[in-house]
Structure 1
Amino acid sequence: MHTYRAECFGQFMLTDGEVTLTQEEMRSDRLLNLLSFLIVNRKRNPSIEEIGNAVCGEDSEQSGASVIKNLVWRMRKLLKSKWPDEQFILTFRGGYKLNPELKVTTDYEEMEDLIQRAGQSEVVEEKAALLNQAFETYKGRFLVGCETERWAANLAVYYQNGAVAVAKRLAALYESLGAYEEVERVVHRATAEDALDEALWTILIRSYGEAGKMQKAEETFHQVSDSLYNALGIGPSPELSGAYQSALNQMHSDVAGVETVMKQFDETDEPAGAFFCEIGVFRKIYKLSARRISRFGFPVHMALITLDLKEGKTGADANAVIDQGMTLMKDCILHTLRTGDVVARYSRTQFVVLLPACQYETGEAAINRVFARFDKHKESKRYRRYFTLREMSGTAKATAFPAHNMDSASALRVCVDAVEAGGDFSGHITGVAVRTPVHFKSAVAFIRAVNTILDELGRPQANAILRTFKTGKNEEAPTSWQYAPAVYHSAKAIQQDTGALKTLDILFVTRSNNTWQGTLYDDSGQEAAFSSELDLVAQMKKMTDQPQA
């Protein structure tokens, strides 16, 4: 009796080393489903009903015993044409199964075995070799062609995630061994499976720095940052930015003369327009400016420019249109502002601008010039653009200006009417895109109310979206990001709505499960950043805390 090998990664194939049955030769998705399902479940005795659901679909009306019987007959005939002396599929009471006397090995089980052996090894080189074998065994998604069936789709996601996890472990080992070319090979192949896995890109960028490939590190970092903005509306993680910074540090670790350093830092071209950088670099420039303020006292302002669609498009169409608008806005910013101004993309629909040595009125005029330039393009009619301008903390004679434009649908006003002895608060929530005020009587009710409002608005959209597979025809797709939610009130009307005890404004930047990020402002000019639901509630309690009489 022969030993057979079934390959399920990529295109299906069954072979004994001499004779091979390929996926193309089956010429039927149902036959492919039947044989692969029996191979995967060869250690069980699946019932006809279970086989029917797997092969024909749970909602199919053609999954009865007669249909499965006909498919088994066709499959046996095809297998007999390849291996006349073998009995592959046996009948038992209530179902069918693969002949247990056949010796069958599979690529997915081989991958799992190699991963397990790598986990047991304590030798780095041996561990890397075993993980590399496991990674090379994965040749593509599990059973390409069967993705519409739930049983195969679930396994496809499982093994895809497993392959990416192996790639991370393997790339980290190669990095520790100094095998940077191997890191490139592994990461580039793994990111074909998950292009937004920041851990993979972090290892690659760090390896580029250690290998002295600074240009590749810089190009990769900016490409990944753009992909994150375009796909998820978020910026690079601290780990990814840290890897880029590590590459920069590695590049300039050698001893050099001051003239050499100045020559390296000199711009090759005559500087023109504002300086554009990624958000991590912008953050460092911001901190440096804050230090200069405390020393020299000259005014520095920061502007937040936001772009929305006027039309209520959603999904891929809205993504493409907003990306075009952001590209146009970036060009207008860079060619309008001064050489010393600094610009970075803050989120999917926002730019942040640093305006040094600038009064409020001058900064307002500068941003209006940017908008005037933007409005000259005929494409600008699709968009609603607005900005917020605020003087940096520490500037001499700082004046309190509105923290953000209340025209933004991402801005909510919280009117606090009462605070209980235990610190719990009650009131109502409103905003330009909130049809009617939403009342709450506790912090827990407040969190639920805000989640409901943001879900209805569609922004900020939750970043962590799990892969899902439809279970029926009537299943609805997840809510898409809304670039232009319906507006029910003017900003002026919202500003006139105040709480009996305290009035707070919240500007949300990102939202992922219970990890909310944004800034909280009160009516006395205080502001505080928050990074979670609990953090926001804690900051609100601080701002609403009243002194005892």
Structure 2
Amino acid sequence: MNEKLAELEVHMLGDFSVMYGEQPISFGKNTTTKAMKLLQILLYYGEQGIAREKLLSALYGRDELADAANNLRVTVHRLKKMIVEAGLPEAEYVNIKKGIYSWQAPMETEVDARVFAALYKEVEACEDAGHKEDLLKEVCRMYHGEFLPDLSGEEWVLIASIQYKKIYTQALKELCEILIARGDYEEALAFCDPACKLYPFDEWQSVKIECYIGLKRYREALKEYECTAKLFFEELGISPSEKLMKQFEEMSSQINDTKPRELQDIKNRLKEEDVPGGAYYCSIPSFRDSYRLVARMMERSGQSAYLMLCSVTDGKGRPMEKPEKLEIMMEEMQNSVQHCLRRGDSFTKYSASQYLILLIGTNKENCGMIFDRIRKYFAREHKSWAKNLEYFVSSVADVENLDSPIQFKDEQSAW
């Protein structure tokens, strides 16, 4: 029977759509009903299936688990009816065995997200340079955006979405390095342009600028920089990274120079140093030494310095209890602090859910503005994340006071 039926193609990267052969399948405009969520979960987990408890949590959450078992039976019945009404052949579609719910269709089913992940595993195992490049191109072409964006607030979707974005980011980075090293700047531009549109704050524009410089199209490179700088300032209230700033200086020099430097000289000078821009990340012991030095300097100079403690919570001021989500958020938190602060500021990971920041030459009012900037960048792709951040701030001079919200008293503490 499988040989006679067309393949069911499921797209989850960038949007959700289903094709049965040449026929698009519509399940209605509302993509957030319980039946639609169940459909997408079952399609994603495929024949491997998902455990009943995990499925109940994904569909109904902790607050609704009392009646969830009965609701799930009703939802499964509605889903089977909805599938057939959408134009697919009569079949069971939902298989339930030993507490595992799985997708069971009479036709072959292909889910782009699964193919995408499997393809990148081929990339990692591939030892032939030419074939690896072809695979990288295919991976980059497959990625059309966030995984199931209409369900981005769901935890299981969020975790999968970040994993797929990481794959895309790594694949595109590898591919651009190969193309630029070979001088294929036009092709690198073609692959990089979609990334700039999908993730305008991830600074893929830097790769585009490098390609424009390689092609000696300096004015286009300068225009790309100016548009990026404007975007960062208007949307996030921050300046572009050190790398982009260096590129700007080189471009300006190249455009105004009456005797242009050789291309290789320009490329050598544009290479990013090992030290990243933004705030300086260091270990707890190094941070402690910096803090002590700043405290001594303040006694003589009178310059102000503040400690800011940023915490990731569950959104209601309580500790985050989901380790996978916490790990993802803390990684993004580090990236946000690194990006939003100056090179003269330093920070460290203070606990599993906290970063400690040393801000020099600022005041308490500006500390609030700095936190708002960090939070805005942190939530740039997932707006709901803004409620997951909290902060305390204290002057370095006041840290030893008992009423300070940040205190580090002895060598036995984490500090």
Instruction: Specify the TM-score bucket, using the shorter chain as the normaliser.
Output: 0.5 to 0.7
With over 3 angstroms needed to count, the CA separation of the structure-2 counterparts of 1:28 and 1:193, relative to structure 1, is closer
Secondary structure at the counterpart of residue 76 of structure 1? helix
Higher relative contact order (CA 8 A, sep 6+): 2
Partner of 2:258: 261
Equivalent residues in 2 for 1:337-416 (5 A)?
Answer: 414-415=295-296
With over 3 angstroms needed to count, the CA separation of the structure-2 counterparts of 1:156 and 1:451, relative to structure 1, is closer
Equivalent residues in 2 for 1:221-236 (5 A)?
Answer: 221-229=225-233, 231=236, 233-236=238-241
Secondary structure at the counterpart of residue 141 of structure 1? coil
Which of 167, 172, 183 aligns to 2:188? It is: 183
Equivalent residues in 2 for 1:494-505 (5 A)?
Answer: none
With over 3 angstroms needed to count, the CA separation of the structure-2 counterparts of 1:206 and 1:18, relative to structure 1, is closer
CA contact (8 A) 1:5 1:105 kept: yes
Mapped partners of 1:60, 1:197: distance in 2: 37
Partner of 1:192: 197
The residue type equivalent to 1:7 in the other structure is H
Partner of 1:478: 389
Larger radius of gyration, structure 1 or 2? Answer: 1
The residue type equivalent to 1:64 in the other structure is A
Structure 1 residue 215 and structure 2 residue 219: aligned?
A: yes
TM-score (normalised: structure 1): 0.47
Which has a greater percent of helix? 2
CA contact (8 A) 2:228 2:240 kept: no
Partner of 2:78: 74
With over 3 angstroms needed to count, the CA separation of the structure-2 counterparts of 1:40 and 1:137, relative to structure 1, is same
Mapped partners of 1:10, 1:62: distance in 2: 34
Mapped partners of 1:94, 1:129: distance in 2: 41
Deviation of the 1:194 alpha carbon = 1.9
The residue type equivalent to 2:221 in the other structure is A
RMSD across aligned positions (CA): 4.8
Which of 150, 156, 159 aligns to 1:145? It is: 150
Which of 360, 368, 387 aligns to 1:458? It is: 368
Partner of 2:46: 42
Deviation of the 1:39 alpha carbon = 1.9
Equivalent residues in 2 for 1:240-389 (5 A)?
Answer: 240-244=244-248, 261=258
Deviation of the 1:432 alpha carbon = 6.6
CA contact (8 A) 2:31 2:150 kept: no
Which of 168, 175, 188 aligns to 1:170? It is: 175
How many residue pairs get aligned? The number is: 314
Calculate percent identity across the aligned residue pairs: 16
CA contact (8 A) 1:42 1:98 kept: yes
Mapped partners of 2:150, 2:173: distance in 1: 27
Partner of 1:315: none
Deviation of the 1:471 alpha carbon = 10
With over 3 angstroms needed to count, the CA separation of the structure-2 counterparts of 1:71 and 1:223, relative to structure 1, is same
The residue type equivalent to 1:186 in the other structure is F
Mapped partners of 1:7, 1:63: distance in 2: 32
The residue type equivalent to 1:223 in the other structure is C
Mapped partners of 2:125, 2:305: distance in 1: 56
With over 3 angstroms needed to count, the CA separation of the structure-2 counterparts of 1:117 and 1:247, relative to structure 1, is farther
CA contact (8 A) 1:415 1:429 kept: no
Which of 104, 109, 115 aligns to 1:110? It is: 115
Mapped partners of 1:97, 1:177: distance in 2: 46
Structure 2 portions without partners, runs of 5+: 261-268, 271-276, 279-292, 308-348, 399-415
Secondary structure at the counterpart of residue 15 of structure 1? strand
Partner of 2:287: none
Deviation of the 1:55 alpha carbon = 1.8
With over 3 angstroms needed to count, the CA separation of the structure-2 counterparts of 1:139 and 1:471, relative to structure 1, is closer
Mapped partners of 2:384, 2:185: distance in 1: 44
Deviation of the 1:124 alpha carbon = 4.8
Mapped partners of 2:390, 2:304: distance in 1: 20
Mapped partners of 1:135, 1:103: distance in 2: 24
Mapped partners of 2:389, 2:40: distance in 1: 31
With over 3 angstroms needed to count, the CA separation of the structure-2 counterparts of 1:244 and 1:115, relative to structure 1, is farther
Which has a greater percent of strand? 1
Mapped partners of 1:244, 1:63: distance in 2: 60
Mapped partners of 2:253, 2:150: distance in 1: 47
Structure 1 residue 54 and structure 2 residue 45: aligned?
A: no
Deviation of the 1:244 alpha carbon = 4.7
Which of 9, 12, 17 aligns to 1:13? It is: 17
Secondary structure at the counterpart of residue 109 of structure 1? helix
Partner of 1:4: 8
Deviation of the 1:27 alpha carbon = 5.4
TM-score (normalised: structure 2): 0.60
Mapped partners of 2:357, 2:247: distance in 1: 37
Secondary structure at the counterpart of residue 84 of structure 1? coil
With over 3 angstroms needed to count, the CA separation of the structure-2 counterparts of 1:62 and 1:18, relative to structure 1, is farther
- Once the two structures are superposed, residues 120-162 of structure 1 have per-residue CA deviations (whole angstroms, 9 ceiling, x without a partner) of 4455554333222211211222112111211112212221232
